[in-house]
């Protein structure tokens, strides 16, 4: 058993006041919080004007929200000495900048704790405010300002980016104003298997101009270092990459290619349903009952599901659905093929087969073929560049949905972007060591 050496109990050290240049002089337990009385550890009575030693003319008090201890908000009651020089008449107060910024309501330890709570523990601002014993706006303003200063505004966070993913994201579900943003994801750690993907930036709007402007604002050496851009089927992103990153390879990731084929299958099923019954599908209609089975990979079908599909396709009126389903299954099979050379040949064969000679009755397959042919180079590029899927981008979109839900929605886009960057920007390992203390009893 390890025998630790115990020191004399010291409230100053326990509450990390020594890091702020303060010394604890007393404590008080109020019903809703603990109050620690403290003063500046090293008084500075020397006049900056004439160098004389001044006498204290009393004290002022300043209350600062501090990091909580033992599930109890902690407030620092700092007594600040006032001085007046008898020689030149100059007056001043003790310097508290080591403990808190000017006019701040949180100590530096309190701000660091709040930032750690958001970045590492993913707490809501409301929970952070309750832990600090301050109002929501006070906590929100302080933690976002500290997060921008320490993490978001650090230019080094853009270093080493070689693979990026771009996608749109709905940040609010209202009818007034632009509700879409464009998210840019750093996929380099995912490709190099050094860690998870991270949110690189978020910009208002979703268009070619928005993404092109963002790329143009980046330094030339950074743009030259981008090798791959993973994206969906939106041609605006493709054009922006071609114009601003001419040497980068655009990759249309499997998620969106499979979704295109799946959407074609759904559209075909609904069209045939309308033609046969003159209405939308109902629970007992064969096509409607099979809507989920149709999206299941052929290798994953159970015997019962296989039997249901065979009965569905035995009906001659469902032949168009069967043909579209076959294309969908070929797309899935190409991406599930472990050998990339073979997978690329399979996908090439799919694109060739749907690009020409498709019967006019297969409207959805013809439309899918035009899209796949137009983006064939981007689709096939995936098989030559492992780890460039836009799947992590979709995963981060899911994280952002969870963030918006836990915050009960956002009204301010600037706050939403800052919160999103702190939550999914990969800052956990970038936090200074003092932000990752394991001895915080509040958690």
| Angstrom distance (rounded) from CA 104 to CA 71 | 23
In whole angstroms, give the CA distance from residue 406 to residue 287.
38
Alpha-carbon distance 316 to 323, whole Å?
Answer: 12
pTM (predicted TM-score): 0.80
Which contacts (CB < 8 Å, 24+ apart) does range 282-287 have?
A: 286/311, 286/312, 286/315, 286/318, 287/312, 287/318, 287/321
Q: What is the CATH number of domain 156-253+389-432?
A: 3.30.420.10
List b or e across 322-356, with b for residues whose CB sees 16 or more CB atoms inside 10 angstroms. Answer: bbbbebbbbbbbbbebeeeeebbebbeebbebbbe
Note the pLDDT tens digit of each residue in 216-258.
999 999 999 999 999 888 889 999 999 999 999 999 988 889 9
Helix (H, G, I), strand (E, B) or coil at 209: helix
Q: How confident is the model at residue 271 (pLDDT cuts 50, 70, 90)?
A: very high
Confidence category of residue 266, pLDDT binned at 50, 70, 90: very high
Angle between the N-to-C axes of helices 125-132 and 108-119, in degrees from 0 to 180, rounded to the nearest 10: 150
Q: What is the pLDDT of residue 430?
A: 66
pLDDT for the residue numbered 433: 52
Q: 119-168 pLDDT, tens per residue?
A: 988 899 999 999 999 999 999 999 999 899 888 988 888 999 999 999 98
Per the model's pLDDT, the better-predicted residue between 77 and 31 turns out to be 77
pLDDT digits (tens, 9 = 90+) for 351-379: 999 998 899 999 999 999 999 999 999 99
Angle, helix 254-277 to helix 363-374, in steps of 10 degrees: 160
Average pLDDT of the chain?
88
Domain boundary assignment for the chain: 11-152, 156-253+389-432, 254-384
Whether the pLDDT of residue 73 is over 70: the answer is yes
pLDDT of residue 2: 61
pLDDT, mean of residues 280-308: 92
Q: Answer for the pair 67, 443: CB distance below 8 angstroms, yes or no.
A: no
What integer is the mean pLDDT of 56-66? 89
- Using the predicted structure, report yes or no on whether residue 49 has a pLDDT greater than 60: yes
Residue 310 has pLDDT above 90, yes or no: yes
**Residue 187, SS3?**
coil
**Is the pLDDT reported for residue 42 higher than 60?**
yes
Whole-angstrom distance between the N-terminal and C-terminal Cα of the chain? 26
Report yes or no: 379 and 351 within 8 Å, Cβ to Cβ. Answer: yes
Length of the chain (residues): 443
Cβ contact 373:351 at 8 Å: yes
What is residue 342's predicted lDDT score, i.e. its pLDDT? 95
Q: What percent of the chain has pLDDT over 70?
A: 96
Distance of CA 134 to the CA centre of its chain: 26
pLDDT digits 0-9 by tens, 387-443? 788 788 888 988 898 888 888 888 888 889 999 999 998 888 766 554 444 334 333
Q: Rounded to whole angstroms, what are the CA distances from 174 to 169, 398, 404?
A: 14, 19, 14
Q: Whole-angstrom Cα distance, residue 98 to residue 92?
A: 16
Query: Any residues with CB less than 8 A from the CB of 283 and at least 6 apart, and which?
Result: 289
Q: What's residue 435's pLDDT?
A: 45
- Residue 46, pLDDT above cutoff 60: yes
Handedness of CA 263, 266, 269, 275 (dihedral sign): negative
User: CB-based burial of residue 259 (10 Å sphere; 0-12 exposed, 13-18 middle, 19+ buried)?
Assistant: middle
């Amino acid at each position: 058993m390890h025998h630790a050496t115990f020191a004399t109990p010291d409230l100053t050290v326990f509450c990390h006041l020594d890091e702020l240049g303060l010394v604890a002089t007393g404590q008080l337990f109020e019903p809703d919080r603990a109050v620690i009385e403290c003063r500046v550890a090293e008084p500075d009575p020397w006049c900056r004007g004439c160098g004389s030693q001044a006498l204290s003319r009393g004290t002022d008090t300043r209350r600062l929200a501090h990091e909580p201890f033992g599930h109890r908000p902690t407030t620092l009651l700092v007594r600040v000495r006032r001085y007046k020089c008898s020689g030149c008449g100059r007056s001043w107060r003790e310097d508290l900048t080591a403990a808190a910024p000017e006019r701040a309501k949180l100590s530096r330890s309190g701000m660091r704790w709040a930032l750690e709570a958001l970045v590492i523990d993913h707490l809501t601002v409301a929970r952070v405010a309750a832990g600090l014993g301050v109002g929501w706006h006070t906590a929100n303003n302080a933690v976002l300002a500290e997060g921008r200063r320490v993490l978001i505004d650090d230019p080094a966070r853009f270093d080493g980016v070689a693979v990026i993913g771009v996608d749109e994201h709905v940040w609010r579900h209202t009818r007034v104003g632009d509700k879409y943003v464009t998210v840019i994801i750093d996929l380099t750690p995912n490709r190099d298997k050094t860690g998870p993907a991270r949110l690189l930036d978020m910009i208002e709007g979703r268009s070619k101009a928005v993404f092109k402007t963002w790329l143009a604002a980046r330094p030339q050496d950074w743009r030259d270092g981008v090798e791959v851009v993973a994206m969906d089927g939106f041609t605006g992103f493709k054009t922006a990459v071609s114009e601003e990153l001419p040497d980068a390879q655009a990759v249309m990731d499997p998620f969106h290619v499979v979704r295109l084929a799946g959407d074609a299958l759904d559209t075909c099923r609904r069209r045939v349903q309308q033609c046969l019954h003159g209405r939308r599908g109902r629970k007992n209609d064969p096509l409607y009952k099979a809507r989920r089975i149709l999206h299941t990979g052929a290798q994953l079908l159970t015997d019962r599901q296989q039997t249901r599909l065979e009965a569905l396709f035995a009906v001659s009126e469902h032949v168009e659905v069967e043909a579209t389903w076959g294309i969908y299954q070929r797309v899935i099979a190409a991406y599930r093929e472990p050998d990339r050379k073979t997978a690329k040949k399979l996908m090439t064969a799919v694109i060739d087969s749907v690009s020409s000679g498709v019967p006019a009755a297969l409207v959805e397959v013809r439309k899918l073929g035009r899209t796949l042919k137009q983006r064939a180079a981007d689709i096939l590029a995936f098989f030559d560049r492992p780890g460039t899927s836009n799947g992590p981008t979709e995963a981060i979109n899911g994280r952002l949905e969870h963030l918006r839900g836990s915050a009960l929605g956002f009204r301010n886009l600037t706050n939403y972007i800052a919160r999103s960057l702190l939550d999914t920007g990969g800052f956990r390992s970038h936090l200074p060591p003092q932000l990752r203390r394991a001895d915080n009893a509040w958690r």
